[in-house]
Amino acid sequence: MTITSDKDRVVIFDTTLRDGEQSPGATMTHSEKLEIAGLLDDMGVDIIEAGFPIASEGDFNAVTEIAKNARNSRICGLARAKAGDIDRCWEAIKHAEKNRIHTFIGTSALHRAIPNLSMDEMADVIHQTVSHARNLCDNVQWSPMDATRTEWDYLCRVIEIAIKAGASTINIPDTVGYTAPMESADLIKRLIDTVPGADDVIFATHCHNDLGMATANSLAAVAGGARQIECTINGLGERAGNTALEEVVMALKVRNDIMPWSTGIDTQKIMHISRRVAAVSGFAVQFNKAIVGKNAFAHESGIHQDGMLKNAETFEIMRPADVGLSGTSLPLGKHSGRAALRDKLEQFGFEVGDNQLKDVFVRFKELADRKKEVFDDDIIALMRSGEDAENDHLQIVSMKVVCGTGGPAESTIEMEIEGKDVSATASGDGPVDATFKAIRELHPNTARLQLYQVQAVTEGTDAQATVSVRLEEDGMIATGESANTDTVVASAKAYVNALNRLIVRRGKVGEGADTREISYKDVT
């Protein structure tokens, strides 16, 4: 059907860089935040919640740069119901051509008890802070945190206060993923029908996935009258995550017959940004994840395969190309040239310069010599493994690992550290443990291994293994990722990649490092 009315348009508000980054271990570097923001802007996201400026100098600087570089999206910053938060937020977002202040306070009885405010005292705070935000910015969003567990009469009261104080968007957060679809739709509809001034603002929905209903609750809220969905790429977020952008967008696209609303998202760019967010956050996408999972368009059953060969629509309700997936293996091998590789990389959304192409091409040839068949995912993994070369204070030169049933594993590793070649040998409980110990001998550190994860990129015994490593040191968290047909080599490179990121962050402490100066978990 043809969409003609503004009421048929759903605003996509992406909070990957704010709520998504609050996932323990998902902290992104400054450059990674800028990259993800650029991809969100390019794919048609209406509003990017770029961060929480008061949280740290790193967050403030990132939001500021994102605001300066935004081309199409409105840039939003989060602020608690405090004048200092709101002022700091405005300082960061004011550089954007289109901006928004998003301020919030917990309104349920449980959340009111934290600052020990009475209902009347909290109502005064809401009026003062929303008014203050509106005096700075003409686009203000207000959220009653834990709205779905807030008393009905009080929720209506504080929303009316926020609207009168100047909020143009009222967000209704299901902060703990407590509600269900029927409740979600009914709550939005009742608020619009009951609260004075509700017709003059946009109602938004912000759902968490604690009971696995975030997408369903968001779509139900739209049916109830909400016209903004808050979401993240891959459903990234603390605890069980947030509403997944790709799920609500594709649900509206595929089932437009029963959900006659549209978004401005270029869906063919979904897979690329999904992979980038997974890479920079260190949170791999589960294989059976809707829309972007590795198996989302895979068919193993004989009946399914037969149907697919005869007519893809028998078992696919959308085309892989609709979300930017080629759906085929990459017809490249050791005899392929640079032009073919560049063309394929551009199809995946990677823009590479001549020098970068030269480096990728060398590694591609090395991979093609080791594998009989090179797949799309192999090439994507290859791109990821070479992304942080400019920050390589530590580099692996060579490795030799001995392991088996006759005794402990032993790893000898040669590295280049700040231009000097050094080597060490260590034994451990398996080849990876021995390798990590050898690296620590060469580069002593107190970093704690929070995550070690191995995934096969493709099928077969010659498949590349993608290894993700997450390290924590002095409150700073860094992730590293690498891919190789040798799992131990991939593990070593991922570990060194994470160490390199920690080195960079240590060097930036005091001048914009990604450290957390205040706690802001569980906001909205």
Residues at the annotated binding site for Mn(2+)? Answer: 19, 206, 208, 242
Q: Give the helix ranges, DSSP H, for 212-301.
A: 214-224, 245-254, 270-281
d(CA 478, CA 475): 10
Q: Which residues are annotated as a binding site?
A: 19, 206, 208, 242
Q: 493 is written with which tokens? A: 């490179």
Is the Cβ–Cβ distance between 28 and 280 less than 8 Å?
Answer: yes
d(CA 199, CA 189): 11
Q: What angle, 0 to 180 degrees and rounded to 10, lies between the N-to-C axes of helices 57-69 and 83-93? A: 40
Neighbours of 398 (CB within 10 A): 10
Neighbours of 458 (CB within 10 A): 17
Q: Amino acid identity of 165?
A: A
- Facing residues of 480 across strands? 469
Which of the 8 DSSP states describes residue 514? Answer: S
Q: 132 is written with which tokens? A: 């203050």
d(CA 393, CA 504): 9
Q: 490 is written with which tokens? A: 């991939």
3-state helix, strand, coil split of the chain in percent (to 5) is 45, 20, 35
DSSP string, 114-126: TTT--HHHHHHHH
- Name the nearest CA neighbour of 147 among 228, 75, 208: 208
